[in-house]
Amino acid sequence: MKKITVGVADCSKYEKYASWISCEPGVEIIKLGYALNDFDEIKRCQGVLLTGGEDVHPRFYNRPDLLRFCYPDDVDERRDEFDLKVIEYTQQHQMPLLGICRGLQIANVFFGGTLIPDLPSFGKYNHSKLGESRDRYHSVSIDSQSQLSKIVSVTVGEVNSAHHQAVKHVGKGLVANCFSSEGVIEGLERIQPDGKPYLMLVQWHPERMSDQANPLTATVKKSFLDEVRSL
């Protein structure tokens, strides 16, 4: 099997993402993060996984007034800047990109979209964790015409949930492909993917879902790695 190298964005739960993606045969990983001062390592990668973590600072989508809705100790502008630079590189160099949770959010901001800074404060059901360590689980509906639907071969499913921010306005060139029952966007992809690098953004956490055979975990990972290997 062709060996590939995937850059994985540094975060507090980096090891979980790293083990999830690198447990597949022939996958080497490189940690990418501002604290490591190692942006140039992206040149060794054929694909990038954007991980979860801190709230995106609202100034990056021109709404600094919304900062009060972010978790006080959960904003890191240096990471925002680094991740945005990583996304820019992937787009310039035609690299496959898989974004998870915050990864979806920062990618949407990169493409000019905006975020709901706190779901309960803006009239949406709570999607954050149940206590300190248990994810919520809920159903999602997948657009039958979407690239995601073709990948997972289902139009309904169950995902885990551990976030309080979400997409508000979708970024340019992107389209929502998956929704929770109350209309929270759970996934984004390109409107016109032909001729453009692979881009799949999911709000849930496939790296830690209890059922790793769930197509919303297994086939999402496979599609990303297959795309990286095809280069």
pLDDT digits (tens, 9 = 90+) for 197-224: 999 999 999 999 999 999 999 999 999 9
> Tokens 């493409």 label which residue?
111
pLDDT at 129: 86
**Cα–Cα distance, 62 to 100 (Å, whole number):** 23
**Cα–Cα distance, 166 to 66 (Å, whole number):** 13
Residue 173 near residue 111 (C-beta atoms within 8 A): yes
Q: pLDDT (tens digit, 9 = 90+) per residue, 186-204?
A: 999 999 999 999 999 999 9
Element (H, E) at 176: strand 174-180
Task: Say yes or no to pLDDT of 121 above 70.
Answer: yes
Domain ranges of the chain: 4-229
**Which of 125-146 are b and which e, b meaning 16 or more Cβ less than 10 Å from the residue's Cβ?**
eebbeeeeeebbebebebbeeb
CATH fold for domain 4-229: Rossmann fold (3.40.50)
pTM comes to 0.96
What is the DSSP-derived secondary structure letter of residue 29?
E
Type of residue numbered 90: T
**Cα–Cα distance, 197 to 163 (Å, whole number):** 27
Residue 53 near residue 12 (C-beta atoms within 8 A): yes
Residue 112 near residue 172 (C-beta atoms within 8 A): yes
Q: 136: closest CA among 175, 104, 118, 163? A: 163
Confidence band for 151, pLDDT divided at 50, 70 and 90 = very high
